Amino acid sequence: MMLAGLIFATDDADDRVGTLAATLPFGGLTLIEFQARLLIGAGVSQLLVVVTRLTPELLGAIARIGRRGASVDVVRTAVEAADKLHPLARVLVLADGLVTTGDVLSLLTEEGGDALLTVSDLEAAPGFERVGAETAWAGVARLDAKRVAEVAAMPKDYDFQSTLLRVAAQGEAAHVRLPAALSGGAHGIERDSRALAARGTIMLAVLVSKPVVWADRYILAPLARLALPPLMARTVHSMAVAASGIVLGLAAVAAIFFDRAAPGIALAILAILVFTIGAALSWLRDEEPLAAFQRNAIPGMAALAALLLGHVTSTSDDTATGWTLGIAAVVAAALAERAAGPGAKRRWWGSPVAYLLIMLPLSIAGMPLIALAAAGAYATTTLAAAIEGLRDRP
Protein backbone atom coordinates (compact mmCIF):
# COMPACT_ATOMS: atom_id res chain seq x y z
CA MET A 1 0.00 0.00 0.00
CA MET A 2 1.43 3.36 -1.06
CA LEU A 3 0.90 5.90 1.72
CA ALA A 4 0.74 9.66 1.27
CA GLY A 5 0.20 12.25 3.97
CA LEU A 6 -2.03 15.32 3.86
CA ILE A 7 -1.46 17.99 6.52
CA PHE A 8 -3.59 21.11 6.80
CA ALA A 9 -1.75 24.30 7.78
CA THR A 10 -4.28 27.03 7.12
CA ASP A 11 -5.60 28.32 10.46
CA ASP A 12 -4.03 31.09 12.53
CA ALA A 13 -3.01 30.61 16.15
CA ASP A 14 -5.56 31.84 18.66
CA ASP A 15 -3.08 33.88 20.70
CA ARG A 16 -0.53 35.00 18.10
CA VAL A 17 -1.77 37.32 15.39
CA GLY A 18 -0.37 36.51 11.95
CA THR A 19 1.15 33.19 13.08
CA LEU A 20 -0.10 29.91 11.69
CA ALA A 21 -1.07 27.32 14.31
CA ALA A 22 1.01 24.77 12.39
CA THR A 23 4.18 26.79 13.07
CA LEU A 24 3.70 27.13 16.84
CA PRO A 25 6.59 25.62 18.82
CA PHE A 26 6.07 22.10 20.07
CA GLY A 27 8.99 20.70 22.04
CA GLY A 28 12.03 21.68 20.01
CA LEU A 29 10.10 21.64 16.71
CA THR A 30 7.13 23.32 15.14
CA LEU A 31 3.82 21.49 15.30
CA ILE A 32 3.79 20.72 11.58
CA GLU A 33 7.27 19.17 11.82
CA PHE A 34 6.04 16.93 14.62
CA GLN A 35 3.03 15.91 12.52
CA ALA A 36 5.25 15.17 9.51
CA ARG A 37 7.57 13.14 11.70
CA LEU A 38 4.67 10.94 12.84
CA LEU A 39 3.51 10.42 9.26
CA ILE A 40 6.98 9.54 8.00
CA GLY A 41 7.35 7.14 10.90
CA ALA A 42 4.07 5.52 9.80
CA GLY A 43 5.51 4.82 6.33
CA VAL A 44 4.42 7.89 4.38
CA SER A 45 6.71 8.65 1.43
CA GLN A 46 4.90 11.71 0.03
CA LEU A 47 3.66 14.68 2.05
CA LEU A 48 1.26 17.37 0.90
CA VAL A 49 0.92 20.50 3.00
CA VAL A 50 -2.28 22.48 2.39
CA VAL A 51 -1.75 26.22 2.91
CA THR A 52 -3.55 29.47 2.29
CA ARG A 53 -0.39 31.55 2.66
CA LEU A 54 3.31 30.89 3.09
CA THR A 55 5.06 32.48 6.05
CA PRO A 56 8.82 32.44 6.71
CA GLU A 57 8.25 30.07 9.65
CA LEU A 58 6.25 27.67 7.50
CA LEU A 59 8.81 27.77 4.68
CA GLY A 60 11.58 26.95 7.16
CA ALA A 61 9.58 24.07 8.65
CA ILE A 62 8.81 22.63 5.20
CA ALA A 63 12.49 22.81 4.24
CA ARG A 64 13.44 20.90 7.40
CA ILE A 65 10.74 18.28 6.75
CA GLY A 66 12.14 17.75 3.25
CA ARG A 67 15.48 16.71 4.72
CA ARG A 68 13.82 13.68 6.34
CA GLY A 69 13.71 11.77 3.07
CA ALA A 70 10.05 12.18 2.10
CA SER A 71 8.97 14.37 -0.80
CA VAL A 72 7.09 17.47 0.34
CA ASP A 73 4.72 19.48 -1.85
CA VAL A 74 2.86 22.65 -0.91
CA VAL A 75 -0.66 22.96 -2.31
CA ARG A 76 -3.33 25.60 -1.95
CA THR A 77 -6.38 23.83 -3.37
CA ALA A 78 -7.88 20.38 -3.71
CA VAL A 79 -7.19 20.58 -7.46
CA GLU A 80 -3.46 20.97 -6.83
CA ALA A 81 -3.54 18.17 -4.25
CA ALA A 82 -5.35 15.79 -6.62
CA ASP A 83 -2.77 16.52 -9.33
CA LYS A 84 0.11 15.70 -6.99
CA LEU A 85 -1.30 12.47 -5.53
CA HIS A 86 -0.79 9.07 -7.11
CA PRO A 87 -4.25 7.78 -8.08
CA LEU A 88 -3.69 4.51 -6.19
CA ALA A 89 -2.35 6.12 -3.02
CA ARG A 90 -3.97 5.81 0.37
CA VAL A 91 -3.91 9.20 2.08
CA LEU A 92 -3.42 9.73 5.82
CA VAL A 93 -5.06 13.04 6.66
CA LEU A 94 -4.19 15.11 9.75
CA ALA A 95 -6.39 18.00 10.81
CA ASP A 96 -4.99 21.48 11.24
CA GLY A 97 -3.42 21.82 14.69
CA LEU A 98 -3.66 18.13 15.57
CA VAL A 99 -1.44 16.70 18.28
CA THR A 100 -1.38 12.91 18.53
CA THR A 101 0.89 9.93 19.08
CA GLY A 102 2.34 7.24 16.85
CA ASP A 103 0.18 4.65 18.62
CA VAL A 104 -2.98 6.53 17.65
CA LEU A 105 -1.82 6.95 14.07
CA SER A 106 -1.14 3.22 13.81
CA LEU A 107 -4.89 2.58 14.13
CA LEU A 108 -5.29 3.82 10.55
CA THR A 109 -2.10 2.63 8.88
CA GLU A 110 -3.37 -0.89 8.22
CA GLU A 111 -4.81 -2.04 4.91
CA GLY A 112 -8.44 -1.17 4.40
CA GLY A 113 -10.91 1.25 2.89
CA ASP A 114 -11.79 4.78 3.90
CA ALA A 115 -11.80 5.27 7.66
CA LEU A 116 -12.26 8.15 10.10
CA LEU A 117 -10.91 8.24 13.62
CA THR A 118 -13.85 9.24 15.80
CA VAL A 119 -14.93 9.88 19.37
CA SER A 120 -18.37 10.25 20.87
CA ASP A 121 -19.77 13.78 20.83
CA LEU A 122 -19.61 13.86 24.63
CA GLU A 123 -15.87 13.13 24.59
CA ALA A 124 -15.02 15.45 21.70
CA ALA A 125 -12.28 17.98 22.38
CA PRO A 126 -12.57 21.56 21.09
CA GLY A 127 -11.88 21.69 17.35
CA PHE A 128 -13.21 18.22 16.54
CA GLU A 129 -15.77 18.42 13.74
CA ARG A 130 -19.01 16.48 14.00
CA VAL A 131 -19.63 13.69 11.51
CA GLY A 132 -22.86 12.36 12.96
CA ALA A 133 -25.54 13.01 15.50
CA GLU A 134 -23.41 11.63 18.32
CA THR A 135 -19.97 11.32 16.69
CA ALA A 136 -17.07 13.72 16.12
CA TRP A 137 -14.02 13.38 13.89
CA ALA A 138 -10.85 13.04 15.99
CA GLY A 139 -8.60 14.62 13.36
CA VAL A 140 -7.12 11.57 11.57
CA ALA A 141 -8.45 9.85 8.45
CA ARG A 142 -7.35 7.22 5.93
CA LEU A 143 -8.84 7.98 2.52
CA ASP A 144 -8.53 6.92 -1.08
CA ALA A 145 -6.93 9.51 -3.35
CA LYS A 146 -10.18 9.70 -5.31
CA ARG A 147 -11.82 11.43 -2.35
CA VAL A 148 -9.45 14.36 -2.88
CA ALA A 149 -10.35 14.30 -6.58
CA GLU A 150 -14.04 14.48 -5.65
CA VAL A 151 -13.40 17.60 -3.57
CA ALA A 152 -11.39 19.07 -6.44
CA ALA A 153 -14.48 18.82 -8.66
CA MET A 154 -16.50 20.99 -6.24
CA PRO A 155 -16.61 24.82 -6.07
CA LYS A 156 -13.27 26.29 -5.07
CA ASP A 157 -14.69 28.45 -2.27
CA TYR A 158 -15.50 25.37 -0.16
CA ASP A 159 -13.24 24.76 2.85
CA PHE A 160 -10.90 21.94 1.78
CA GLN A 161 -10.62 20.16 5.14
CA SER A 162 -14.31 20.28 6.04
CA THR A 163 -15.41 19.32 2.54
CA LEU A 164 -13.02 16.37 2.43
CA LEU A 165 -14.42 15.21 5.76
CA ARG A 166 -18.01 15.48 4.48
CA VAL A 167 -17.17 13.60 1.30
CA ALA A 168 -15.60 10.80 3.33
CA ALA A 169 -18.56 10.65 5.71
CA GLN A 170 -21.07 10.57 2.84
CA GLY A 171 -18.99 7.83 1.22
CA GLU A 172 -19.68 5.71 4.32
CA ALA A 173 -16.13 5.67 5.58
CA ALA A 174 -15.69 3.29 8.49
CA HIS A 175 -15.56 4.83 11.96
CA VAL A 176 -12.58 3.76 14.08
CA ARG A 177 -13.11 4.69 17.71
CA LEU A 178 -10.22 6.33 19.54
CA PRO A 179 -9.50 4.36 22.73
CA ALA A 180 -9.03 6.94 25.48
CA ALA A 181 -6.26 4.89 27.10
CA LEU A 182 -4.24 4.74 23.87
CA SER A 183 -3.52 8.46 23.65
CA GLY A 184 -3.05 9.05 27.36
CA GLY A 185 -4.67 12.48 27.00
CA ALA A 186 -2.08 13.64 24.45
CA HIS A 187 -4.51 13.62 21.50
CA GLY A 188 -6.28 16.86 20.58
CA ILE A 189 -6.40 19.95 18.39
CA GLU A 190 -4.53 22.97 19.74
CA ARG A 191 -4.17 26.45 18.26
CA ASP A 192 -3.06 28.24 21.43
CA SER A 193 0.67 28.33 22.19
CA ARG A 194 0.24 27.88 25.95
CA ALA A 195 -2.18 25.00 25.57
CA LEU A 196 0.16 23.43 23.03
CA ALA A 197 3.07 23.65 25.49
CA ALA A 198 0.91 21.92 28.11
CA ARG A 199 0.03 19.25 25.55
CA GLY A 200 3.76 18.69 25.00
CA THR A 201 4.20 17.93 28.70
CA ILE A 202 1.34 15.42 28.49
CA MET A 203 3.01 13.88 25.44
CA LEU A 204 6.22 13.36 27.40
CA ALA A 205 4.26 11.77 30.25
CA VAL A 206 2.74 9.35 27.73
CA LEU A 207 6.19 8.49 26.37
CA VAL A 208 7.58 7.56 29.77
CA SER A 209 4.40 5.69 30.80
CA LYS A 210 4.63 3.06 28.05
CA PRO A 211 6.76 0.41 29.76
CA VAL A 212 5.05 -2.85 30.69
CA VAL A 213 7.60 -4.22 33.17
CA TRP A 214 6.69 -3.47 36.79
CA ALA A 215 9.84 -1.61 37.81
CA ASP A 216 9.73 0.76 34.86
CA ARG A 217 5.96 1.27 34.98
CA TYR A 218 5.37 1.72 38.71
CA ILE A 219 8.65 3.21 39.93
CA LEU A 220 10.59 4.77 37.07
CA ALA A 221 7.68 6.23 35.07
CA PRO A 222 5.94 8.02 38.02
CA LEU A 223 9.23 9.63 39.06
CA ALA A 224 9.89 10.72 35.48
CA ARG A 225 6.40 12.23 35.20
CA LEU A 226 7.02 14.28 38.36
CA ALA A 227 10.29 15.65 36.96
CA LEU A 228 9.11 16.44 33.43
CA PRO A 229 6.80 19.47 33.97
CA PRO A 230 9.44 21.68 35.65
CA LEU A 231 12.02 20.65 33.06
CA MET A 232 9.66 21.59 30.24
CA ALA A 233 8.64 24.85 31.94
CA ARG A 234 12.28 25.91 32.29
CA THR A 235 13.13 24.65 28.79
CA VAL A 236 16.12 22.71 30.11
CA HIS A 237 18.42 21.69 27.26
CA SER A 238 18.40 18.00 26.37
CA MET A 239 22.19 17.87 26.45
CA ALA A 240 22.16 19.13 30.04
CA VAL A 241 19.88 16.26 31.06
CA ALA A 242 22.09 13.72 29.28
CA ALA A 243 25.19 15.21 30.92
CA SER A 244 23.53 14.91 34.34
CA GLY A 245 22.89 11.23 33.65
CA ILE A 246 26.52 10.72 32.66
CA VAL A 247 27.75 12.45 35.84
CA LEU A 248 25.48 10.29 38.00
CA GLY A 249 26.67 7.20 36.12
CA LEU A 250 30.31 8.08 36.72
CA ALA A 251 29.56 8.70 40.40
CA ALA A 252 27.89 5.27 40.57
CA VAL A 253 30.93 3.62 38.99
CA ALA A 254 33.28 5.41 41.41
CA ALA A 255 31.19 4.44 44.45
CA ILE A 256 31.09 0.74 43.47
CA PHE A 257 34.80 0.74 42.61
CA PHE A 258 35.66 2.09 46.08
CA ASP A 259 33.59 -0.66 47.73
CA ARG A 260 30.46 1.41 48.35
CA ALA A 261 28.08 -0.93 46.59
CA ALA A 262 24.75 0.29 48.00
CA PRO A 263 25.32 4.02 47.27
CA GLY A 264 26.72 3.08 43.87
CA ILE A 265 23.67 1.03 42.87
CA ALA A 266 21.36 3.77 44.15
CA LEU A 267 23.24 6.30 41.99
CA ALA A 268 23.00 3.93 39.01
CA ILE A 269 19.21 3.82 39.45
CA LEU A 270 19.14 7.64 39.54
CA ALA A 271 21.27 7.76 36.40
CA ILE A 272 18.81 5.47 34.62
CA LEU A 273 15.94 7.72 35.74
CA VAL A 274 17.71 10.76 34.29
CA PHE A 275 18.48 8.92 31.04
CA THR A 276 14.80 7.92 30.78
CA ILE A 277 13.71 11.54 31.13
CA GLY A 278 16.44 12.74 28.77
CA ALA A 279 15.54 10.19 26.09
CA ALA A 280 11.90 11.33 26.13
CA LEU A 281 12.90 15.01 25.94
CA SER A 282 15.34 14.36 23.11
CA TRP A 283 12.77 12.34 21.16
CA LEU A 284 10.18 15.11 21.40
CA ARG A 285 12.77 17.69 20.32
CA ASP A 286 13.82 15.56 17.34
CA GLU A 287 17.31 14.92 18.69
CA GLU A 288 17.30 11.25 17.76
CA PRO A 289 21.07 10.55 18.15
CA LEU A 290 20.95 11.91 21.70
CA ALA A 291 17.75 9.98 22.44
CA ALA A 292 19.30 6.76 21.09
CA PHE A 293 22.45 7.29 23.19
CA GLN A 294 20.40 7.63 26.37
CA ARG A 295 18.19 4.64 25.56
CA ASN A 296 21.33 2.54 25.09
CA ALA A 297 22.91 4.01 28.23
CA ILE A 298 20.12 2.57 30.40
CA PRO A 299 21.02 -1.14 29.96
CA GLY A 300 24.68 -0.17 29.72
CA MET A 301 24.55 1.46 33.15
CA ALA A 302 22.93 -1.58 34.74
CA ALA A 303 25.41 -3.96 33.09
CA LEU A 304 28.41 -1.86 34.14
CA ALA A 305 27.18 -1.73 37.75
CA ALA A 306 26.78 -5.52 37.89
CA LEU A 307 30.13 -6.27 36.25
CA LEU A 308 31.98 -3.78 38.41
CA LEU A 309 30.36 -5.12 41.58
CA GLY A 310 31.42 -8.61 40.57
CA HIS A 311 34.97 -7.40 39.90
CA VAL A 312 35.29 -5.58 43.23
CA THR A 313 33.89 -8.55 45.14
CA SER A 314 36.17 -11.04 43.39
CA THR A 315 39.21 -8.85 43.98
CA SER A 316 38.31 -8.46 47.65
CA ASP A 317 37.61 -12.18 48.22
CA ASP A 318 40.40 -13.38 45.92
CA THR A 319 37.98 -15.68 44.08
CA ALA A 320 36.30 -15.71 40.68
CA THR A 321 32.79 -15.98 42.13
CA GLY A 322 31.93 -12.30 41.72
CA TRP A 323 33.16 -12.20 38.13
CA THR A 324 31.22 -15.35 37.30
CA LEU A 325 27.96 -14.14 38.85
CA GLY A 326 28.27 -10.67 37.32
CA ILE A 327 28.98 -11.94 33.81
CA ALA A 328 26.24 -14.58 34.05
CA ALA A 329 23.67 -11.99 35.16
CA VAL A 330 24.56 -9.60 32.34
CA VAL A 331 24.54 -12.32 29.68
CA ALA A 332 21.18 -13.69 30.84
CA ALA A 333 19.66 -10.19 30.95
CA ALA A 334 21.00 -9.33 27.48
CA LEU A 335 19.64 -12.56 26.00
CA ALA A 336 16.27 -11.97 27.68
CA GLU A 337 16.05 -8.51 26.10
CA ARG A 338 17.00 -10.01 22.76
CA ALA A 339 14.42 -12.79 23.00
CA ALA A 340 11.58 -10.52 24.13
CA GLY A 341 10.17 -8.96 20.96
CA PRO A 342 8.22 -5.69 20.87
CA GLY A 343 4.96 -6.03 22.78
CA ALA A 344 5.87 -9.47 24.11
CA LYS A 345 7.02 -8.49 27.61
CA ARG A 346 5.08 -9.48 30.72
CA ARG A 347 4.52 -7.32 33.78
CA TRP A 348 6.74 -9.43 36.08
CA TRP A 349 9.72 -9.67 33.74
CA GLY A 350 13.09 -8.13 34.48
CA SER A 351 14.51 -4.89 33.09
CA PRO A 352 17.71 -2.92 33.75
CA VAL A 353 16.21 -0.94 36.62
CA ALA A 354 14.41 -4.03 37.98
CA TYR A 355 17.70 -5.92 38.33
CA LEU A 356 19.27 -2.98 40.16
CA LEU A 357 16.26 -2.69 42.48
CA ILE A 358 16.64 -6.38 43.33
CA MET A 359 20.33 -5.84 44.06
CA LEU A 360 19.94 -2.67 46.17
CA PRO A 361 18.53 -4.07 49.47
CA LEU A 362 20.92 -7.02 49.40
CA SER A 363 23.83 -4.65 48.83
CA ILE A 364 22.65 -2.50 51.74
CA ALA A 365 22.67 -5.68 53.84
CA GLY A 366 26.31 -6.26 52.86
CA MET A 367 25.69 -9.29 50.63
CA PRO A 368 26.99 -8.34 47.16
CA LEU A 369 27.36 -11.93 45.97
CA ILE A 370 23.79 -12.73 46.95
CA ALA A 371 22.71 -9.54 45.18
CA LEU A 372 24.40 -10.64 41.95
CA ALA A 373 23.02 -14.17 42.30
CA ALA A 374 19.47 -12.83 42.81
CA ALA A 375 19.74 -10.54 39.78
CA GLY A 376 21.14 -13.41 37.72
CA ALA A 377 18.36 -15.76 38.79
CA TYR A 378 15.75 -13.13 37.95
CA ALA A 379 17.32 -12.55 34.52
CA THR A 380 17.48 -16.31 33.87
CA THR A 381 13.80 -16.72 34.79
CA THR A 382 12.89 -13.86 32.48
CA LEU A 383 14.98 -15.43 29.70
CA ALA A 384 13.24 -18.79 30.16
CA ALA A 385 9.81 -17.12 29.92
CA ALA A 386 10.89 -15.19 26.81
CA ILE A 387 12.10 -18.38 25.12
CA GLU A 388 8.83 -20.14 25.94
CA GLY A 389 7.01 -17.19 24.41
CA LEU A 390 9.02 -17.60 21.22
CA ARG A 391 8.14 -21.30 21.08
CA ASP A 392 4.43 -20.54 21.44
CA ARG A 393 4.45 -18.19 18.44
CA PRO A 394 3.19 -19.68 15.16
**CATH 3.30.460.10 for domain 3-194:** no
Main-chain dihedrals φ then ψ at residue 29, nearest 5 degrees: -120, -175
CB 189 within 8 A of CB 124: no
In angstroms, the CA 80 to CA 72 distance is 13
- Start-end of CATH 1.20.120.1760 domains in the chain: 209-392
In angstroms, the CA 353 to CA 269 distance is 6
H/E stretch holding 96 reads: none
pLDDT on residue 360: 96
pLDDT on residue 390: 75
- Start-end of CATH 3.90.550.10 domains in the chain: 3-194
pLDDT on residue 377: 97
Per-residue pLDDT of the chain (394 residues; tens, 9 = 90+): 688 999 999 999 988 888 999 999 887 789 999 999 899 988 898 999 999 999 999 999 999 888 877 889 999 999 999 999 988 889 999 999 999 988 888 889 887 889 999 988 777 777 888 887 788 999 999 999 999 999 999 888 788 999 999 999 888 899 999 887 776 678 889 899 888 888 887 777 777 767 778 888 888 888 888 887 777 766 788 899 999 999 999 999 999 999 999 999 999 999 999 999 999 888 878 888 999 999 999 999 999 999 999 999 999 999 999 999 999 999 999 999 888 765 678 889 999 999 999 999 999 999 999 999 999 999 999 999 988 877 765 5
pLDDT on residue 394: 55
CB 55 within 8 A of CB 78: no
In angstroms, the CA 385 to CA 383 distance is 5
Which amino acid is present at 89?
A
**CATH 1.10.10.10 for domain 209-392:** no
DSSP secondary structure, 144-190, as one string: EHHHHHHHHTS-TTS-HHHHHHHHHHHTTPEEEE--HHHHTT--EE-
